[in-house]
Amino acid sequence: MLAPWRSPLSSAIYRNRSKPFSRYFQLATVTPEGHPANRTVVFRGFLDDQSDVLKAITDLRSTKIQDIEHHPVGEVCWYFTKTREQFRIAANLQLVTVAETDPTLQQARQTTWHNLSDSARSQFAWPDPAKPVAEPTAFDVSPPNADTPLDNFCLLLLTPHKIDHLQLRGEPQLRCLYTWQSDRTWKTQQVNP
């Protein structure tokens, strides 16, 4: 059975589909030193239709990898401008790398790579992120093979455990908290905005 927050989130994604930027969310992580670090990433769908696990992709060479290795938790902040609602999603983070031995997860990594555009795949062949800027020609890469993810391509799985859904529309505004409990059920609470 899907989590109770899944339907409001899927509905927001659907109702805001005319705005391509609705598929971007901010993902905060914690650095090894304990500082917050935040960046925009693209929502790549759910792990499967019946899953509550969100997918994103990233580069094994990027700084956030160390954050996730030290603290495999993060918080998504996702604002939908058309319907004026925000989801804050506290989640456990899991990296699915080239070394993943679970066949289902490795297959998900391959499929996600396959479904990217050539230009998205090419970014994984660019020079190392956050290093001193390379010659422009270093970015003229031919698109990598769509069937074989580059080794630095990472699938990032987000398994939510707390969701705070705020809807600005309406009088009064609506706010609902969904919390994953130790008995492995979701608690749903309508709270003041």
Ligand X SMILES: Cc1cc2nc3c(=O)[nH]c(=O)nc-3n(C[C@H](O)[C@H](O)[C@H](O)COP(=O)(O)O)c2cc1C
Burial of 190 (C-beta count, 10 Å sphere; 0-12/13-18/19+) = exposed
Nearer residue to ligand X within complex by CB, 42 or 141: 42
Alpha-carbon dihedral angle through residues 7, 13, 18, 23, given to the nearest 10 degrees: -170
Taking the complex as a whole, how short is the minimal distance between the CB of residue 170 and ligand X, in angstroms? 29
In degrees, rounded to 5, the angle at the alpha carbon of residue 17 between the alpha carbons of residues 14 and 20 is 145
Taking the complex as a whole, how short is the minimal distance between the CB of residue 110 and ligand X, in angstroms? 17
The full length of the chain comes to: 193
Residue 30 interacting with ligand X (CB under 6 A): no
Residue 39 interacting with ligand X (CB under 6 A): yes
Nearer residue to ligand X within complex by CB, 37 or 176: 37
Residue 28 interacting with ligand X (CB under 6 A): no
Which positions from 46 through 85 interact with ligand X, judged by CB under 6 A?
56-59, 62-64
Among 24, 122, 162, 179, binds ligand X (CB under 6 A): 24
C-beta of residue 59 within 8 angstroms of C-beta of residue 152: yes
Close Cβ partners of 179 (under 8 Å, ≥ 6 residues apart): 161, 162, 186, 187, 189
x/- letters, 145..164, toward ligand X (CB under 6 A): --------------------
Nearer residue to ligand X within complex by CB, 19 or 39: 39
With contacts defined by CB under 6 A, name the span among 32-40, 88-96, 169-177, 178-186 that binds ligand X. 32-40
DSSP-derived 3-state class of residue 15:
helix
Taking the complex as a whole, how short is the minimal distance between the CB of residue 37 and ligand X, in angstroms? 5
Nearer residue to ligand X within complex by CB, 36 or 143: 36
Distance CA 91, CA 46 (A): 14
Distance CA 172, CA 169 (A): 8
Binding region for ligand X (CB under 6 A): 24, 37, 39-42, 56-59, 62-64
